[in-house]
Structure formats: structure tokens, C-alpha cells
């Protein structure tokens, strides 16, 4: 497994500016995420989390700096990094007209899997995520929690080595949140690197072993929670967050 010799993510001097905007959304980011990490990326609204996530997953085309995923360069032309990457977007990014099996069949095929592997993996995932009994029901009729689990199932169909999660538990009940967290921990135990972003800091504190705080387009802190709390004399992740980013609203500019 040659890719294990590389860090999961290596970012060097990454800057990104959206077309038509005067300022960079992220500036000169340097970041390394080790393989097998449960990495939490946090910051206030508009800090640059989604932009950084977009660049890492290849959704946004950046021109300044470089990103490597397990040694594969991320670029518009080279899509080979996609085969080791999974992405759980905040939105329900699937076809609500289809049932979970049909969604998994389509996205599995698009991930490069063949039919026998799709069938096997679909059954396994739907059973683990408690969706097997509703596998032939249209997703449109599902609750928010069930849709979140479908969202995750699709993202891990091809057994990615790194999974990017953008607020994967937003709007779900406690039971579903626990189920999702348990499943993510299980994935990580099997070797999947997790890159997680959320506003649920308590949840993040339980899940992640490494943290980065981003504000105004820059990484302002990056370490384990223990080291960060000690260095900044803060209590808990929430206290650290407020201490480093302040209490002022960040999303008042539109």
C-alpha cells in the first residue's frame, strides 16, 4: 500500500480567491494531515472552512499553491486522487427520486466499482446504517436522519482512504448522531482518515484527535486538543474556539 507512505493531505502555500471577489478567501495555507488521523477543521462562519474543504476535494479549482492526497496531486486535469477520496457534503447530494439501493448502485458505478462489488457493499452499508429494511423505498420520503445516513453510505461505497465530512450530523436526532459517530469511529479504526468540519464542538471533541482552527482565511492553530488547550490556557474546545476567534459575529457581511 504505497499510499500509506504519504501523509493523507499535504497542503503548501494554498490561496484561493472566488471569481469576482477582491480578497482571497484563504491565504497561504500550509497543512499536513497524517494518514489515519481524525482531523477536525473548525472556524467561525465565513472563516474559509468550506473553501479549504472544496480545494482539498477538488471541487474548487485553485491556482496558487498545491495539495496532495496520499501523494497524488489535486488538480482539474489529474483526477486519480478521487479514487482514494470520499466526500460527505452538508447537502443531501443524491437522487431523492431513487431508493437507497439505486443511489448506491449509481454512485458506486461512478466510483469505479463493478456490479458484484456494488451489491455486496450496498448490503453491508445499508445493514450497518440501519437502512436495509427501507432499501427499496424512495429516499424522498425518508426522515432527515435517514437521509444523512444515505449521504454517508454513498460517500464510503468505494472504501475511500480519506473521508471528508462537512457537518455530517446537522439536523439529526441524538440517536442518529450517535450511530453516525460510532460508524465514523469504526471506519477510522479500519484505517480511513477522517477530515471533519462542524459547529458541533462537543461532538468534535469526542471524535477528533487533531484540530485546526481557521479564521479569516488562515490556520491560526493546529495541534492535538491537549497541546492547544495547554498552549492557550483554555478549557475545552469551545473555550479555545472563543478565545482564539472572539465573540463578534462573523457572518454579518453579505
CB of 60 to other proteins, least distance (A): 7
Compute, in degrees rounded to 10, the torsion defined by CA atoms 240, 197, 39, 70: -150
Q: Which is nearer to other proteins, 92 or 132 (CB)?
A: 92
CB burial readout 47-66, b (16+ within 10 A) else e = bbbbbbbbbbbbebebeebe
- Counting beta carbons within 10 angstroms of the beta carbon of residue 235, is it exposed (0 to 12), middle (13 to 18) or buried (19 or more)? exposed
**Footprint on residues 69-88 left by other proteins (CB under 8 A):** 79-80, 82-83, 85-87
111 makes contact with other proteins (CB under 8 A): yes
DSSP state, residue 191: T
107 makes contact with other proteins (CB under 8 A): yes
Q: Which is nearer to other proteins, 15 or 138 (CB)?
A: 138
Task: Choose the binding region for other proteins from 6-14, 108-116, 121-129, 234-242 (rule: CB under 8 A).
Answer: 108-116
Q: Which is nearer to other proteins, 86 or 145 (CB)?
A: 86
CB of 37 to other proteins, least distance (A): 19
Contact (CB, 8 A) for 111 and 84: no
59 makes contact with other proteins (CB under 8 A): yes
Work out the end-to-end distance of the chain between its first and last CA atoms, rounded to an integer number of angstroms.
46
**C-alpha 25 chain-centroid distance:** 19
The C-alpha cell that represents 147 in the structure block: 437521509
Q: Which is nearer to other proteins, 87 or 211 (CB)?
A: 87
Task: Choose the binding region for other proteins from 94-102, 194-202, 224-232, 238-246 (rule: CB under 8 A).
Answer: 94-102
What is d(CA 129, CA 125) in angstroms, rounded to the nearest whole number? 6
**Footprint on residues 141-200 left by other proteins (CB under 8 A):** 154-155
Q: Which residues contact 149 (CB under 8 A, 6 or more apart)?
A: 129, 130, 131, 176, 179, 180
CB of 208 to other proteins, least distance (A): 21
123 makes contact with other proteins (CB under 8 A): no
Task: Choose the binding region for other proteins from 32-40, 58-66, 178-186, 203-211 (rule: CB under 8 A).
Answer: 58-66
Sole binder of other proteins in the list 15, 93, 200, 216 (CB under 8 A) = 93
The C-alpha cell that represents 42 in the structure block: 473548525
What residues make contact with other proteins under the rule CB under 8 A?
57-61, 79-80, 82-83, 85-87, 89, 91-98, 102, 105-107, 109-112, 114-115, 138, 154-155
Amino acid at each position: 500500500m504505497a499510499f500509506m507512505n504519504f501523509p493523507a493531505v499535504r497542503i503548501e502555500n494554498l490561496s484561493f480567491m472566488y471569481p469576482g471577489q477582491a480578497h482571497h478567501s484563504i491565504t497561504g495555507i500550509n497543512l499536513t494531515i497524517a494518514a489515519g488521523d481524525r482531523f477536525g477543521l473548525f472556524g467561525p462562519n465565513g472563516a474559509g472552512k468550506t473553501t479549504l474543504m472544496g480545494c482539498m476535494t477538488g471541487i474548487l479549482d485553485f491556482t496558487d499553491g498545491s495539495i496532495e492526497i496520499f501523494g497524488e496531486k489535486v488538480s482539474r486535469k489529474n483526477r486519480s486522487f478521487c479514487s482514494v477520496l470520499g466526500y460527505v457534503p452538508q447537502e443531501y447530494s443524491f437522487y431523492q427520486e431513487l431508493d437507497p439501493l439505486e443511489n448506491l448502485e449509481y454512485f458506486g458505478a461512478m466510483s469505479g466499482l463493478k456490479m458484484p462489488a456494488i451489491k455486496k457493499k450496498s448490503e453491508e452499508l445499508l445493514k450497518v446504517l440501519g437502512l436495509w429494511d427501507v432499501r427499496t423505498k424512495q429516499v424522498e420520503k425518508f426522515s432527515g436522519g435517514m437521509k444523512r445516513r444515505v449521504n454517508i453510505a454513498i460517500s464510503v461505497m468505494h472504501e475511500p482512504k480519506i473521508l471528508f465530512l462537512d457537518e455530517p450530523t446537522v439536523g439529526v436526532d441524538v440517536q442518529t448522531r450517535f450511530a453516525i459517530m460510532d460508524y465514523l469511529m469504526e471506519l477510522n479504526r479500519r484505517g480511513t482518515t477522517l477530515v471533519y468540519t462542524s459547529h458541533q464542538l462537543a461532538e468534535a471533541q469526542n471524535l477528533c484527535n487533531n484540530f485546526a482552527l481557521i479564521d479569516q482565511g488562515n490556520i491560526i492553530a493546529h495541534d492535538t486538543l491537549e497541546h492547544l488547550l495547554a498552549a492557550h490556557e483554555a478549557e475545552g474546545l469551545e473555550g479555545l474556539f472563543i478565545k482564539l476567534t472572539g465573540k463578534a459575529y462573523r457572518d454579518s457581511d453579505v
